[in-house]
Structure 1
Amino acid sequence: MTALLEIENVSRVFHAGEETIMALAGVSISIAGGELVAIVGASGSGKTTLMNILGCLDQPSSGDYRVGGRSVAGLTADNRAALRREHFGFIFQHYQLLGTLSAADNVAMPAVYAGLDAGSRRERSTSLPRRLGFGDRLDHRPNQLSGGQQQRVSIARALMNGGRIILADEPTGALDRKSGETVLDTSKELHTDGHTVIIVTHDMEIASDVDRIIEIREGRFSDRRTRDQKTNGRPSFHDSRPVGSLPAFRRRLVEAFPMAIRSMATHRVRTFLTMLSIIIGIAAVVAAVGFGEGARQELLRKLGGFGASTLLISPGRYLGDEDASSIKTLVVSDADDQSYVDSVTPEVRTSAQIRFGHTSVPATVTGVGQDYLRVNALKLLKGSFFSVETVSERSQEAVINDRMAATLFPNDESPLRNILLIGRVPVLIVGVFAPPPAFRSNSPLEVLLPYTAVKGRLQGADSSLDALTVRVADSVDTTVAERAVGRPDNSSARHEGLLCFQPGSSA
């Protein structure tokens, strides 16, 4: 007798936490083509596990399973799916019909996934129900059919793609006696037509009229033949519709999409709640990501306001170096053409008496370059700041801080275009700036002038600076830039006695 299905020394183990459950242990079975076989046993004996392995729904933990002489263990998931689709038909105890589809559409479902063309599918999905005795109920949904009729729909579905091997799991378990007898008679007719039928049941009466009974009892298998069966030989298991072919995929998509729409329309409330939960979930993720990114940008902006991305280069080998005033080698060109520089401003400082009208106050006068505000993340409140021409021409223009403006102009007068005296040097106020909010409460009285004007008109003509403040480019780590300042190939390192540190550090 030619073997169609062969199980050799197969075991199936399940793991539930730390517990190991042995569902099948060392099973060996051979089933020939065209046989009518009953697998019987009590609940929990492993009948369904064996059926799932036979139908390629599950794989054994050990041992070998061959279909038509070909080992299933060597097949990919797609090839196993093709084997189930083309050669196996499943009949379940509880029918597993789709409630939103008609009987004809439920029967045609396997052919949809097989990519069968619509004409052939329609012809077969109407001829099978007529053959099985429910041709007048094709337009009815499952809830409009009796239990026996629903089971016959599932049988027709199992035969839709050929179903050379029929696996029936308790096919009469949910039926009355008359309907059960009808389903069993149908199974026998399928067997007579040449199908290999395997019935899984716990009812020995159902198994009494089969060719062969495989009984599972207390983990042991007994196999007895009730009558001789003339088999129809070994079938060919060649898949004529390759998995993933474009035409089949297109047909599956065209058919499955309307089915999905009908299902959604049938369950409107469930569809609405599902879509609402998806929308809420996506919106929550987008809001969380947007909030996080906004918080990050705000944090970076505030850190920039504290000078977190600036370097101060000043004379002296360490903070508080008493010889720093004698070092005259720091010049503007020391920060030229450096890859880590976003912007730079020279600084020279002096103290002077500031007079306007009858008001005279001592203040710090700082000579700066045109990028001073950008380097220090300061905000211009009124007027304008120095231009390149203003710096190069040593123009006598001044930008004062908001505290100085409040001191000299207490009645909310505009300070712009007014003349201040710095010592004996007159300067024109062209703008007002504000320090960062964190330092505004204790900011000193301050006046900014072009550094060239401070050196040429208030101090002296030498070109040395008190400091260079460098804003580091966003793409460069500040610590890396600090180390780069001290490299021998860096212009600022040509001069001994220069100190580079990050403002606010303990250097």
Structure 2
Amino acid sequence: MSTALLQLEGVSRTFDDGDDGEAAIEALADVTLEVDAGEFVCVIGPSGSGKSTLLHILGCLDQPTSGAYRVAGEDVTALGADDLARRRRETFGFVFQNYNLLESSTARDNVEMPATYTGEPRRQRRRRAAEILRAIGLGDRVDHRPAELSGGEQQRVTIGRALMNGAQVILADEPTGAVDTAQRDKILGLLERLADRGHAIIVVSHDAAVAARARRRIELADGRVVSDDGTGKASEGTVAGRVGQPGAMPWLAAVRGGWTWMRSHRLAAALTVASDAVGVWSVVALLGLAEGAHRDAAGILERMGANRLNVGGYEFSGQRFVLFPQTLADAHAIAEQVANVQSVVPVLNRRSAVNAGSQGIDDVMVRAVIHTEPRTTDNVLWPLEQGTFPTEGDNDSLAQVAVIGRPIRDRLIGTDANALGTTIFLDGTPFEVKGVLGPHPGREGEGVAFATTESGLVWQETVVFIPFRTGAEVLYGTDQLNFIQVFVDDVSRIDETAADVRDLMNRRHDREGYTLTNRAEQLAAHMELSNLHATILGALAGVSLLAGGLAVMGVTLAAVSQRTREIGIRMAVGARRRDITLQFLAETAVPTTLGGGAGTLLGLATTPFLVWLADAPVALAPWFVPVALACGIATGLVFGIVPARRASRLDPVAALATT
């Protein structure tokens, strides 16, 4: 004995009115019936008799309160939401009195929609949708939208949609209620032919003509079966539903749906794009301000020498202290063996008397240097006004050449005079002037450009540079350095670098006690201020993104409310909850991605205006672009989750009933 395609045993459906004290409504009571493949059944009865409720239970849109319901032998009363969606997708097709077509989609788009949730390739499902439309007499209306079709044509599109996944069972709720007699006969003739091919056709109707065409009539009254003539002869044909892939709607199809939604809802899409663009623009603008402030602070720190470590160390010997040895070899070892080192400057300084002819200055800083370009004590490039700086050849040959500061030139040789080639004496040793320094870089801005000496405050321009070996071997007779300056790359790792330098010096000289000093307090204060600035700007950017995200959420929630029936249609043809969630997330992600791109471009384009408006440093960095785009997309996804989940939790029966 073969099992019937659909089996209901003692099925009841009760609706609870809530806590208002009214009795529950029993829409169906102890309904038992079977439907085989190939049957053409008409369910009749007065309004309120339970016809629609029976149809909803048969189509797995609703669940019975009690009793058993089996589809092809599978008990569906205990199935979860996703399994019920699978059963609708594989077994059932729905035909509605008011058609329930998507107004913004073409006839082919409407017909192919169920196959979207089976994972069928787009090209294949579009070809099949066109074939189905040709088979039901709408081959010339493939690209027409519902508003361009007659009522009968719309209903045939609905039947085509029901057939897209094979539909072993077609459930039709008043399929001829909104068409004229001629169209009614065409629709009934189509349903009869489908029954002959093996589809089980179950029609709910008040129309006697429809009941007369059916091969079996079931009458309901007060939720009970009061008659079932059981005379309908099932055809011998059989139909297998299209199972498809269990992984439903692909991302690409969801994104296409997002584009379709944007084209048909231009105002809502524009609001979504604009909301996200403004939020992302503010992120780019505030990131520019934060980056500008950071770079400005970094410049200040560099001018302060915050990235500089001074190597030192001393011990007491009797009544005096003796400096720990530091040599040029130590400087080379630090540069080669310690990580995070930008440069190393060995410092060999002496204060000397400088004379030229009858003029002299008693207290001048003479610096023996190994680099071939003038630099300040903070390792900042010091431009020349005249001449050149000593070369490596000068250093190797112990050349007695010097570069002097402008105050020395003005006092000893003459104001603004050409001093090149003039001989000066450093503690009685002759040196030829090879260059004259320009203004000290520290005089620009807030840098300190003077030093305390025994003669009082003097500008650091009162300095003489000579080659390192000339100073060590000719002028001073020693290569013992005053100290070594170490400049680091990453200021945040300066303590780690200092520890590495200290360990290296202790090992090289087999003693403990070397020290490294830097302007840690100033560094900490500036870094704290920079971090506070970045935090405030980040908070402002977050508030702006939040406002944009809330606007996106509002638009999407409104869209969910307006499209409740569409959601019900998608669920009826087999969309799972996750498919609905994906659909709405994609529809949010598409415009917010555009908004993110627009906001990024706007932020980059308005940077010059922002510099003028804020009267503050603004800087751009390459990483702004991916961060801004990510913010735009994330805003859509995060603030689209609540509307998307709300849409996916809708009851399909209630959604379909929405006007």
| TM-score, with structure 2 as normaliser | 0.52
1:502 Cα deviation after fit: 2.2
Which amino acid in the other structure matches residue 348 of structure 2?
V
What CA distance in whole angstroms lies between the structure 1 residues aligned with 2:285 and 2:68?
51
Which amino acid in the other structure matches residue 166 of structure 2?
G
1:466 aligned residue (460, 472, 482):
482
What CA distance in whole angstroms lies between the structure 2 residues aligned with 1:490 and 1:3?
90
Which has the bigger relative contact order, CA under 8 A and spacing at least 6? Answer: 2
Instruction: Work out whether residues 485 and 492 of structure 1, in 8 Å CA contact, stay in contact via their aligned partners in 2.
Output: no
Paired residues for 1:10-89 under 5 Å: 32-34=35-37, 36=41, 51=56, 67-69=71-73, 86-89=90-93
Bigger helix fraction: 2
Instruction: Work out whether residues 45 and 220 of structure 2, in 8 Å CA contact, stay in contact via their aligned partners in 1.
Output: yes
1:397 Cα deviation after fit: 3.5
Instruction: Work out whether residues 107 and 144 of structure 2, in 8 Å CA contact, stay in contact via their aligned partners in 1.
Output: yes
Instruction: Work out whether residues 82 and 239 of structure 1, in 8 Å CA contact, stay in contact via their aligned partners in 2.
Output: no
Bigger strand fraction: 1
1:346 Cα deviation after fit: 0.9
Instruction: Work out whether residues 83 and 239 of structure 1, in 8 Å CA contact, stay in contact via their aligned partners in 2.
Output: no
Match of 1:18 in 2: none
1:501 Cα deviation after fit: 1.9
2:159 aligned residue (144, 155, 171):
155
Q: Does 1:334 align with 2:330?
A: yes
Instruction: Work out whether residues 310 and 518 of structure 2, in 8 Å CA contact, stay in contact via their aligned partners in 1.
Output: yes
Paired residues for 1:463-502 under 5 Å: 463-474=479-490, 477-487=493-503, 491=507, 494-502=510-518
Instruction: Work out whether residues 4 and 33 of structure 1, in 8 Å CA contact, stay in contact via their aligned partners in 2.
Output: yes
Match of 1:303 in 2: 301
SS class of match (1:303): helix
Moved more, 164-173 or 138-147: 164-173
1:468 Cα deviation after fit: 0.5
Instruction: Work out whether residues 338 and 501 of structure 2, in 8 Å CA contact, stay in contact via their aligned partners in 1.
Output: no
Match of 1:17 in 2: none
Paired residues for 1:182-197 under 5 Å: 185=188, 189=192, 192-193=195-196, 194-197=198-201
SS class of match (1:380): coil
What CA distance in whole angstroms lies between the structure 1 residues aligned with 2:59 and 2:295?
58
- Residues 87 and 314 of structure 1: is their aligned pair in 2 closer, same or farther, counting only changes over 3 Å? same
Number of corresponding residues: 471
Paired residues for 1:430-445 under 5 Å: 430=435, 432=437, 434-436=440-442, 437=444, 440-443=447-450, 444-445=459-460
> 1:145-202 CA deviation, whole Å, 9 max, x = no partner?
23443233222222234222234567678x478799679857964784443456789x
What CA distance in whole angstroms lies between the structure 2 residues aligned with 1:7 and 1:390?
108
Instruction: Work out whether residues 43 and 204 of structure 2, in 8 Å CA contact, stay in contact via their aligned partners in 1.
Output: yes
What CA distance in whole angstroms lies between the structure 1 residues aligned with 2:437 and 2:12?
88
SS class of match (1:326): strand
Unaligned runs of 5+ in 2: 14-25, 451-458, 524-659
> 1:100-122 CA deviation, whole Å, 9 max, x = no partner?
66546644565687443777654
SS class of match (1:398): strand
SS class of match (1:226): strand
For the aligned residue pairs, the C-alpha RMSD in angstroms reads: 6.2
- Residues 374 and 350 of structure 1: is their aligned pair in 2 closer, same or farther, counting only changes over 3 Å? closer
Instruction: Work out whether residues 471 and 477 of structure 2, in 8 Å CA contact, stay in contact via their aligned partners in 1.
Output: no
- Residues 2 and 85 of structure 1: is their aligned pair in 2 closer, same or farther, counting only changes over 3 Å? closer
1:462 Cα deviation after fit: 2.7
What CA distance in whole angstroms lies between the structure 2 residues aligned with 1:322 and 1:4?
110
Match of 2:349 in 1: 349
> 1:232-266 CA deviation, whole Å, 9 max, x = no partner?
79978675755789xxx9xx99xx98x999x7998
SS class of match (1:311): strand
SS class of match (2:383): strand
- Residues 260 and 290 of structure 1: is their aligned pair in 2 closer, same or farther, counting only changes over 3 Å? closer
1:498 Cα deviation after fit: 2.2
1:480 Cα deviation after fit: 0.9
1:388 Cα deviation after fit: 3.8
Match of 1:398 in 2: 402
Match of 1:456 in 2: 473
SS class of match (1:345): strand
What CA distance in whole angstroms lies between the structure 1 residues aligned with 2:368 and 2:9?
93
SS class of match (2:305): coil
1:392 Cα deviation after fit: 4.1
- Residues 384 and 227 of structure 1: is their aligned pair in 2 closer, same or farther, counting only changes over 3 Å? farther
Q: Does 1:428 align with 2:433?
A: yes
Identity among equivalent pairs (%): 26
What CA distance in whole angstroms lies between the structure 1 residues aligned with 2:407 and 2:237?
100
> 1:371-405 CA deviation, whole Å, 9 max, x = no partner?
88499341232255444444444433334567767
Q: Does 1:124 align with 2:140?
A: no
What CA distance in whole angstroms lies between the structure 2 residues aligned with 1:402 and 1:42?
107
What CA distance in whole angstroms lies between the structure 1 residues aligned with 2:505 and 2:449?
40
Instruction: Work out whether residues 218 and 227 of structure 2, in 8 Å CA contact, stay in contact via their aligned partners in 1.
Output: yes
- Residues 141 and 398 of structure 1: is their aligned pair in 2 closer, same or farther, counting only changes over 3 Å? same
1:227 Cα deviation after fit: 0.9
SS class of match (1:486): helix
Instruction: Work out whether residues 315 and 324 of structure 1, in 8 Å CA contact, stay in contact via their aligned partners in 2.
Output: no
1:207 Cα deviation after fit: 11
- Residues 196 and 349 of structure 1: is their aligned pair in 2 closer, same or farther, counting only changes over 3 Å? same
Match of 1:370 in 2: 371
What CA distance in whole angstroms lies between the structure 2 residues aligned with 1:41 and 1:405?
115
Moved more, 1-10 or 186-195: 1-10
- Residues 164 and 369 of structure 1: is their aligned pair in 2 closer, same or farther, counting only changes over 3 Å? same
- Residues 267 and 503 of structure 1: is their aligned pair in 2 closer, same or farther, counting only changes over 3 Å? same
What CA distance in whole angstroms lies between the structure 2 residues aligned with 1:279 and 1:408?
68
- Residues 360 and 213 of structure 1: is their aligned pair in 2 closer, same or farther, counting only changes over 3 Å? farther
Instruction: Work out whether residues 111 and 121 of structure 1, in 8 Å CA contact, stay in contact via their aligned partners in 2.
Output: no
Instruction: Work out whether residues 89 and 165 of structure 2, in 8 Å CA contact, stay in contact via their aligned partners in 1.
Output: yes
What CA distance in whole angstroms lies between the structure 2 residues aligned with 1:28 and 1:417?
119
1:9 Cα deviation after fit: 11
SS class of match (2:344): strand
Instruction: Work out whether residues 313 and 467 of structure 1, in 8 Å CA contact, stay in contact via their aligned partners in 2.
Output: yes
What CA distance in whole angstroms lies between the structure 2 residues aligned with 1:456 and 1:8?
113
SS class of match (1:500): strand
1:489 Cα deviation after fit: 8.2
SS class of match (2:329): helix
Match of 2:529 in 1: none
What CA distance in whole angstroms lies between the structure 2 residues aligned with 1:332 and 1:427?
25
Match of 1:379 in 2: 381
SS class of match (1:461): coil
Instruction: Work out whether residues 166 and 240 of structure 2, in 8 Å CA contact, stay in contact via their aligned partners in 1.
Output: no
1:484 Cα deviation after fit: 1.6
1:479 Cα deviation after fit: 1.1
Which amino acid in the other structure matches residue 349 of structure 1?
N
1:350 Cα deviation after fit: 2.3
What CA distance in whole angstroms lies between the structure 2 residues aligned with 1:498 and 1:413?
45
